[in-house]
Chain A
């Protein structure tokens, strides 16, 4: 019996079914010099998928700044690593699980959390915080409620079980996500800076070890699925959905960290998308060596699995490790103790080839380097997004009293409280959470120290759609501002680029534009990209999502006690607005929710002013000169003031300066601004003048209502009711 008789014959037609174009098929033949086996085709097809090869995005991603003195490891490994002083490092990354979450929201989101956790603890870090960035379709769409409920339960179900707090995130709604929701999960971990683990295989003859759960037929070709558009019938053609097992993940975390405390590990890599294929190819490729595996030895959950299925399975909670010779017994004892599978499945070789054997036959014998180095790389044609006109705030005056408009805005889907979501997450496990959802950033103490990490996720897709360059810069700037607003020094970001079909020049133009804006912002704000993920083909029936470069930012508070939050603290404190207000109304939520117009140019981002204002605010917080701080974003000034009042259960009296346009002043979304409260306004104003930072006295805290110009008022309780009502009522189905 020859191996050919066991596997389908490979043809250009079969390759096309597995996502390889005719050109890519030819390229594969040039590399192999013969018709590849079916298993080999599977390996090419996933390694050269958009998801694994970044073939459409790589040329652009290369432009992002990735270095800084505090960057220990930038993009290319499982996650990014930054120095946070005292010999410690923070390791983090954000990753999408969009397609699986649309098909099976609970398990899709849960395994998304599991996957990003593994990316972080693979590198030697104990995960200390999770975040997420979610985009759903219009609340009126029939699937939206079901998707929110499943995704949120899945994130909570997995995250809560593994004992890692979920400390924040963001959620948006827009009809462009009706057929393609975005579920981006982020994990931050903590490690010793001199104990970081990488994935490059080394040491010829070293054992290659499989640990974790058994392999089943889960999610075969998930990576390829993530690289194609949805059509009406793709809901029927789905592969076996991956089911997560958070308790096994918890055991895997503890077992891996225990093994990492010994000196047994040469290299380690989690099995994520494309499972054993991508992990073994990446380990061999990075080490410029070969790997030979005996697939009979892979722990299997099902009988009769083919080599193709074993290599392509996306079963969860698995790791591949290269051990030092002679350490197998030590490692096995640890995994036995944690009741996890452990199997030596192969060796590192000097051939530079991936050799796979099963039942005594060779199913794959491929040179590793070309799988990675000669993966297709496309400079896809792109066209710039045409600019939209600026909109004059005076042309869209307030249709009623400002507080009535505030009342409507604060309860609209994009601004309503997310309490219903984050109350399902364990945000406190570990007892190091200082600030959780509802503020500008999550803040988590570095266990056993006085330091804390601030973490945020951010992006404003409607800005990115209207002007990708401005939107890309804004996403980075807002993440930077969120971290600054709690008092942290922003250190680095991870990016999760969610876009439509890159083969359309218009979509590729959105990608290129967002990258350009991000490059500008990362450079000026000294905020490098250390890890990231790209999710393309987020389209259904040819309709793409709003471009969404979700940014996950991490910052450091050298003294956790300095952290401030958004809540008004006491009556009689001065409220100051830092940063310039021009009244930019284009793409504002005011324009969309009140005037029904989703249009205009988004706010420009003056990066030099952004940096100047932010550095000034951070300095104030560091000197304990302010009692509360909130950065301004969606909804503008009055929404920010309302959020501060609701958080502090305390009102304020606000004066709108005479001669300003009320709509622009109260609801414009100009960038680079913060509201602070202080008991020494004169000192803050003097400091701002000296630093060249615009500052404006807005009013004073006090009372139980938000009062404008002495007349127009709304009670803080009334605001709170409107703010808290929408999401629970929507989820209960009582809004119909």
Chain B
């Protein structure tokens, strides 16, 4: 089973990298971009075949390593 994890900064947390991207877009002439928020995308190939168990395992990975839950949120998508 595959798991896709999206890790993004919590709403309201300053995103200097997003700010830099927005700025670069502007200087390249892409007008009309009001705000940019960036994050990271992690793809996991899991041996687990049970959906609930996989969800639980990835949750735990997110809590312990993949996301810094003090400033980041995460979203998990499972696919067979």
Binding site for B on A (CB under 8 A): 103-104, 107, 213, 216-218, 238, 240-245, 247-248, 301-302, 315-316, 339
Contacts and interface: CB of A to CB of B under 8 A. Distances in A.
A240 B19 contact: no
Given A218-B14, A248-B16, A241 B23 contact: no
B13 A243 contact: yes
A240 B12 CA distance: 7
A483 to B, nearest CB: 37
Contact of B12 (A103, A104, A216, A245): A216
Contacts of A104: 68, 70-71
Given A238-B70, A240-B12, A243-B14, 18 more contacts: A103-B70, A104-B70, A107-B71, A216-B14, A217-B12, A218-B13, A240-B13, A241-B70, A242-B14, A243-B13, A243-B71, A245-B14, A245-B16, A245-B19, A302-B12, A315-B14, A316-B14, A339-B23
Contacts of A243: 9, 13-16, 71
Contacts of B70: 103-104, 238, 241
9 contacts: A104-B70, A107-B71, A216-B13, A218-B14, A240-B13, A242-B14, A243-B14, A244-B16, A301-B14
A92 B9 CA distance: 34
Interface of B: 9-10, 12-16, 19-20, 23, 68, 70-71
B19 A241 contact: no
A244 B14 CA distance: 8
Given A103-B70, A104-B70, A107-B71, A240 B16 contact: no
A613 to B, nearest CB: 48
Residue of B9, B10, B14, B20 most packed against chain A (CB within 10 A): B14
Contacts of A103: 70
Contacts of B19: 245
Contacts of B9: 243
Tell me if A's interface is mostly helix, strand, loop or mixed. Answer: loop
Closest 8 CB pairs of A and B: A245-B16, A243-B14, A217-B12, A104-B70, A241-B71, A240-B12, A243-B13, A241-B70
Nearest to B20: A247
A607 B70 CA distance: 47
Contacts of A245: 14, 16, 19
A146 to B, nearest CB: 11
Contacts of A218: 12-14
Contacts of A217: 12
A247 B16 contact: yes
Nearest to B70: A104
B37 to A, nearest CB: 11
Nearest to A315: B14
A242 B13 CA distance: 7
B79 to A, nearest CB: 32
B29 to A, nearest CB: 17
A213 B10 CA distance: 19
Nearest to A238: B70
Nearest to B14: A243
A702 B78 CA distance: 67
Nearest to B27: A339
Residue of A218, A240, A242 most packed against chain B (CB within 10 A): A240
A341 to B, nearest CB: 12
A396 B77 CA distance: 63
A220 to B, nearest CB: 10
Contacts of A247: 16, 20
A247 B15 CA distance: 12
A611 to B, nearest CB: 48
A248 B23 CA distance: 12
A104 to B, nearest CB: 5
Contacts of A315: 14
A628 B12 CA distance: 53
Contacts of B14: 213, 216, 218, 242-243, 245, 301, 315-316
A216 B13 CA distance: 8
A240 B71 CA distance: 8
A211 B70 CA distance: 28
A301 B12 CA distance: 8
B66 to A, nearest CB: 15
